[in-house]
């Protein structure tokens, strides 16, 4: 009888130990998954535009390299907008952008609205010794192309975008909505033929420019 009770208690202790180990193992696994997701969100990015040099020639009149670029912006769903073409005297080109970063807790949690930085391209420009060559992409206080609802004239839509600019520029509004900071950035590069320049928005940061060679299959097309 005593031996039976002993083995029963021992069995229960072993089962309890296994359950405890399984629980802590599961908890450790879940915490590891959460940590991995947080790291992924903090290091994640999204493609927001691509730039390609379509023409590059020496302009004897200005004594400078004349550069024409194709600027292809992508909307929030990753669909390309209508491309734009800009021609500059020079090839060190920058893109002035408004970038709004949200507080880390929203990025960590993958918040559906505030889980990654948001942005608007404002201008493409080249600076030289005497002046600046500037092309507007989005007007201040306006509705950006690609975000305007087609064939609809709406005061409500206009007010929504006015509120966006308020959030960007008003410190009290930023604090209320969980915005870490809003600032103007101007990432740039030397733009040369034969390279695709990809602008990426980092979910917890700003805009960076990545480069890769143009695929061989497209090189002949660009030279036409």
Q: Are residues 99 and 3 in the same domain?
A: no
Q: What is the pLDDT of residue 18?
A: 65
Per residue in 100-120, pLDDT (tens digit) is: 888 878 777 777 667 777 788
Per residue in 53-84, pLDDT (tens digit) is: 999 999 888 788 999 999 999 877 788 889 99
Q: What is the pLDDT of residue 63?
A: 82
> Can you give the residue range of the structural domain that contains 14?
1-43
Q: What is the pLDDT of residue 189?
A: 96
Q: Are residues 113 and 52 in the same domain?
A: yes
Residues in the chain predicted with pLDDT less than 70, given as ranges, are 1-19, 21-45, 112-113, 141-154, 156-157, 159-160, 217, 219-224
Q: What is the pLDDT of residue 25?
A: 61
CB 154, CB 76: distance < 8 Å: no
Q: What is the pLDDT of residue 224?
A: 56
Q: Are residues 38 and 48 in the same domain?
A: no
Q: Are residues 9 and 93 in the same domain?
A: no
What is the DSSP-derived secondary structure letter of residue 193? T
Q: Are residues 19 and 102 in the same domain?
A: no
Q: Are residues 22 and 103 in the same domain?
A: no
Q: What is the pLDDT of residue 188?
A: 96
Instruction: Give this prediction's pTM.
Output: 0.71
Q: Are residues 120 and 198 in the same domain?
A: yes
SS3 content of the chain, % helix, strand, coil (to 5): 35, 40, 30
Q: What is the pLDDT of residue 201?
A: 86
Q: Are residues 166 and 89 in the same domain?
A: yes
From the DSSP assignment, how many helices (H) and strands (E) are in the chain? 5, 10
Q: What sign does the dihedral 149-152-155-156 (CA atoms) show?
A: negative
Q: Are residues 21 and 86 in the same domain?
A: no
Q: What is the pLDDT of residue 186?
A: 94
Q: What is the pLDDT of residue 77?
A: 74
Q: What is the pLDDT of residue 187?
A: 95
Q: Are residues 64 and 14 in the same domain?
A: no
């Amino acid at each position: 009888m005593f031996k039976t009770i002993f083995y029963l208690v021992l069995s229960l202790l072993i089962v309890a130990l296994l359950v405890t180990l399984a629980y802590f193992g599961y908890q450790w696994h879940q915490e590891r998954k959460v940590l991995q997701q947080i790291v992924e969100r903090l290091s994640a990015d999204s493609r927001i535009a691509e730039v390609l040099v379509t023409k590059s020639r020496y302009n004897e009149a200005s004594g400078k390299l004349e550069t024409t670029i194709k600027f292809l912006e992508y909307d929030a769903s990753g669909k390309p907008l209508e491309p734009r073409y800009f021609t500059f005297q020079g090839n060190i080109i920058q893109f002035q952008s408004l970038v709004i970063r949200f507080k880390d807790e929203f990025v960590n949690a993958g918040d559906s609205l505030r889980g990654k930085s948001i942005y608007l391209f404002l201008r493409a420009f080249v600076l030289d010794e005497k002046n600046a060559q500037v092309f507007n992409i989005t007007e201040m206080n306006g509705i950006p192309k690609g975000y305007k609802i087609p064939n609809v004239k709406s005061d409500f839509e206009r007010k929504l975008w006015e509120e966006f600019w308020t959030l960007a520029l008003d410190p009290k509004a930023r604090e209320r909505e969980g915005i870490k900071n809003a600032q103007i950035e101007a990432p740039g590069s030397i733009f040369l033929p034969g390279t695709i320049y990809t602008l990426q928005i980092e979910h917890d940061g700003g805009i960076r420019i990545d480069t890769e060679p143009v695929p061989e299959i497209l090189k002949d097309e660009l030279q036409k």
